[in-house]
Structures are given as structure tokens and as C-alpha cells.
Amino acid sequence: MFEICIDPEKLSGLSWLTCYITTPKHLNLFYSVGTVLLLLLITAPTALLFGFGGAVMARSKILLIKIVGNAYISIVRGVPDIAFFLFFVIAIDQLLEWTRHKILCPEWSEPIRQGNDFVVCTAAKLPLSSSPQWIHEVYGFLLAVFTFAIVFGAFAANVLYGAMRAVPKAQIETAVSFGMTERKVFHRILIPQMWIFALPGLGNLWMILIKATPLLFLLGVEDVVYWARELGGTKTAKFTSYPHGDWRVWYFLGLLIFYLAFTRVSELIIDNLMKNLSRGSATLGGDLQRYVGR
């Protein structure tokens, strides 16, 4: 905090605004932007791994594996995202605590389920009540990341499965005729070729993932939506040094601009990546590039 901010009542205009947006709570708002970016940085590749695994399982020749892969894609895609998010966070949390309870507290004789309550011994709690606050925040964040990855991994699996089927069969048949094994065809022909077909769908999924980050607010993670609502609400002089009216519309307008700018930058990157992948490929984009280059 700046020296001029010691007595907010004597401030006005730009100096008041400067001190206002540099309060500790506003710094939490800025840190929460990093939380959103970190979520995307971790979730995107994790969801892609889940998606790739689901797509491979869905096209497996082993019936049981194929059923599991298709069930994962169909079930997750068929359940509303918000219901799945809330269910998974609670279910995973209780599963971990139940497992720890059985291992750490074998002498416990009371039932874990007591009406609507889920009761485990103190040592089995995750995180422990004695843990510092940052441990609780990291734990909640990791649960959210895993849930996001599971949900969006199912959508990615559907995209990748379709992309694998879109690879021209003539290329695969040619590779087989040259004596390549099924594994080599998969790694050297199918996987490299599928990305050009998968990128449009994965790009749309990335945009949806960006728009879904406010769901962190519902999962108990203090993200930009939480702080925008918290800071934008009416504040009186009794509770804060910087009293103001209901400014939520301005805070959420700032969020609107932030997300629009983020998605626009993402569109430019995806378009550039699509152009590079299309070069020399047997797609409409590749044909147009060859035509322009003549």
C-alpha cells in the first residue's frame, strides 16, 4: 500500500481509486486471475490425456475395453456439467476420507453414514483441520482440476475418436500394404494425421473450457467471479475504509472484457496453428494453401 493510502478519508479522485484497487482484497482479485490461468494450464493437457485414452478405448477391438470407453464418453457427455462437477467433488472427497478412515482408524465402531452426515475420524480428514489455509486451498483446487479434466476429457475423447475415423482409409491401407504393423500404423500414420481433423473441435472445446472456469466459484475456489461479487457489493464505512455503492456491474463488466480478450487471443493462436497443420495435408485447408502457393 502506498503512503498516501494511510488515511483514505482524505483521498479523492484518481488517488482514491489507486489506493482502492491496491488493497489486500483487490490483490486477491488479481491473484485469482492467475488461479484461472493455472487451472487452464493444468486442465487442458490433463483433459487431453483423458480424451486420448477414452478415444483409444472406444476404438479398441476388445469388447470390454470398448464398452468402458464408450460408456465414459456417453455418461459424462449426457450429464449436465454443473451436476457432474458438484457430484465428483463430493464423491472423490468422501472416497478419499473413507479410505483413510479404514486405514488410520480401524478401531472406530460408529457408522460413517449417520443420517445425512458423513463422519470420519479426525486423522482421516482431508485436509487435516490443523493444516494451514493454503493446504485447504490447494486441495480444493486439485479436486476442481481433476473434475474439470474428467468432464472435458469425455468431450475431447469424442472429438479425437471422430478425428481418428476421419483419417483417409487409403493411407492406412497403404501403410499396411508396405508391411507396417498395426502399432506402427497407429503411431506413425493415424496419430499424426488425426490432429488436423481434431483441431477445430479441440479449439471449440478450449473456448468452452475458458467459459467454464467461473464454475470454480461453485466448487468453493475463490476465483475471479467470487472476488468480483465480493468486492462489487455495497460497502459501508462501518465495514471498510473505502465505502461505495453496488458496483457489481462494473466488476462483472471487467470480467466480460477479460474473457472476451482471452478468447480472442485463443482464436488467433488456434487459427495460426490450424494454418500450419493444414500445410501439405489432404484437407480443404491444405488444398487452398497449395492453390494459393502456385
Task: Give residue for cell 470454480.
Answer: 216
Decide if 278 contacts 196 (C-beta within 8 A): yes
Rounded Cα gap, residues 152 and 202, in angstroms: 10
Q: Give me 119's grid cell.
A: 463422519
pLDDT digits (tens, 9 = 90+) for 154-187: 999 999 999 998 888 888 888 888 888 888 888 8
Distance CA 75, CA 70 (A): 8
pLDDT along the chain (294 residues), means of 10: 68 77 83 89 93 92 92 86 79 87 86 82 83 83 87 92 88 85 86 88 92 79 84 76 84 91 92 80 48 46
CB within 8 Å of 150: residues ≥ 6 apart:
47, 50, 76, 84, 88
Q: What is the pLDDT of residue 253?
A: 93
Domain range for 239 is: 3-292
Place of cell 468402458: 68
Backbone angles phi, psi at 181, to 5 degrees: -75, 165
Q: Which residues lie below 8 Å from residue 143, measured CB to CB, with a gap of 6+?
A: 88, 89, 92, 93, 219
Three-state DSSP at 94 gives helix
pLDDT given at position 288: 45
Number of domains forming the structure of the chain: 1
Cα 72 from chain centre: 18
Q: What pLDDT sits at residue 181?
A: 86
Identify the CATH number of the domain in which residue 110 sits. 1.10.3720.10
* C-alpha dihedral sign at 110, 113, 119, 124: positive
Give which of 216, 224, 205 is closest to 89, Cα–Cα: 216
Residue 8 confidence (pLDDT): 67
Task: Output the pLDDT for position 235.
Answer: 79
Residue pair 42/153 in contact (Cβ under 8 Å)? The answer is no
Residue that the C-alpha cell 485447408 belongs to: 285
CA dihedral angle for residue 218, residue 205, residue 40, residue 29, rounded to 10 degrees: -50
**CA–CA distance, 284 with 167 (Å, rounded to integer):** 14
Assessment of whether the complete model's pTM goes beyond 0.85:
no
- pLDDT recorded at residue 54: 93
